[in-house]
Amino acid sequence: MEWPALDKTQLSVVDLAASGDDLDYWLTKTAEERVEAIELMRQALYGYDPARTRLQRVLEVAKLE
């Protein structure tokens, strides 16, 4: 997945209580495009480290009687 180019010349400040056309925008996208957008936001929020994408190994020591 490629990071989209960020246009730093565009900035808008809006009231969060104001209703926007976000729903209309996302309803025009396919399910695949929406999932890709969610994954992009997840990686931006939590970071992306390919070394950590594996399952964690758990070691348990059992004592013999």
What is the model's pLDDT at position 33? 94
Closest CA to 4 of 35, 36, 48: 36
pTM, two decimals, is 0.52
What is the model's pLDDT at position 19? 67
What is the chain's pLDDT, residue by residue, as a tens digit (65 residues)?
666 777 778 777 777 777 677 888 889 999 999 999 998 888 888 777 766 666 677 888 888 88
What is the model's pLDDT at position 25? 87
Residue 14 CA to residue 7 CA, distance in Å, equals 18
Question: Which of helix, strand or coil describes residue 33?
Answer: helix
Closest CA to 2 of 45, 46, 48: 48
